[in-house]
């Protein structure tokens, strides 16, 4: 008669089996939720390269050439993505850039420098979830801020004569 093969690791049994099964099940759900939320998404906005001095320059860096600061500007657009993909209010980067350009011109600038952009990003899985559960719209927001500047030579104030006696 053959002897039974013994296993050094015992299989879960009794109350431990129930706890182990529930823990693995919860762990699988948490891992799935993290997998859906842990991915990244990237958006692109076509920002035209200035072809002439009259064109608006938008950059995330400072300028190396002299300029005059006209102040800081910020634009925030808020809305919801319907069905996970339909951006009715225009909370994308391109719409925000198109809306901030006239404000830069109104303030007398021809460039927007040190630009910072924040946008709500959703992965494809999250967008599909929004499409399936269409009655729960996904909140969406884009914010652009930067310094409005006028490129060209900066006019330095004339030095004032030093106080005190002369000859």
Residue 147, pLDDT > 90, answer: yes
Asked if the structure places residue 124 within a domain, the reply is yes
Residue 134, pLDDT > 60, answer: yes
Helix, strand, coil shares of the chain, percent, nearest 5, are 30, 25, 45
pLDDT tens for 63-76 read 888 989 999 999 99
Average the pLDDT over 99-107 and give the result. Answer: 91
Asked if the structure places residue 80 within a domain, the reply is yes
- CA distances (Å), origin 48, targets 1, 6, 13, 51, 69: 84, 72, 66, 8, 22
pTM given for the model: 0.59
**What tokens were used for 13?**
């049994």
Residue 77, pLDDT > 50, answer: yes
Asked if the structure places residue 48 within a domain, the reply is no
Asked if the structure places residue 114 within a domain, the reply is yes
Asked if the structure places residue 40 within a domain, the reply is no
Asked if the structure places residue 22 within a domain, the reply is no
- Residue numbers of the domain that contains 91: 57-151
Residue 28, pLDDT > 90, answer: no
Q: Say what the pLDDT of residue 112 is.
A: 92
The count of structural domains within the chain is 1
Asked if the structure places residue 79 within a domain, the reply is yes
pLDDT tier for residue 104 given thresholds of 50, 70 and 90: very high
35 Cβ partners below 8 Å, 6+ apart? 125
Q: Say what the pLDDT of residue 113 is.
A: 92
Q: Please identify which residue in the block is written with the tokens 């608006």.
A: 56
Asked if the structure places residue 99 within a domain, the reply is yes
Nearest to residue 105, comparing CAs of 167, 145, 150?
150
Q: Which residue has the higher pLDDT, 120 or 42?
A: 120
Residue 128, by phi and psi: left (phi above 0), alpha (psi -120 to 50) or beta? alpha
CATH number where 100 lies = 3.30.110.70
């Amino acid at each position: 008669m053959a002897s039974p093969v013994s296993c050094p690791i015992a299989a879960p049994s009794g109350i431990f089996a129930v706890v182990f099964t529930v823990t693995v099940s919860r762990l699988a759900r948490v891992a799935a939720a993290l997998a859906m939320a842990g991915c990244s998404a990237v958006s692109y906005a076509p920002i035209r390269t200035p072809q002439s001095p009259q064109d608006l320059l938008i950059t995330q860096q400072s300028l190396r050439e002299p300029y005059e600061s006209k102040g800081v500007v910020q634009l925030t657009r808020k809305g919801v993505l319907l069905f996970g993909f339909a951006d009715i209010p225009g909370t994308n980067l391109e719409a925000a850039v198109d809306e901030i350009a006239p404000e830069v011109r109104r303030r007398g600038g021809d460039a927007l420098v040190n630009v910072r952009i924040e946008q709500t990003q959703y992965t494809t899985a999250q967008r599909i979830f929004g499409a399936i559960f269409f009655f729960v719209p996904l909140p969406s927001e884009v914010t652009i801020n930067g310094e409005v500047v006028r490129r060209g030579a900066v006019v330095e104030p004339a030095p004032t004569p030093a106080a005190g006696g002369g000859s």
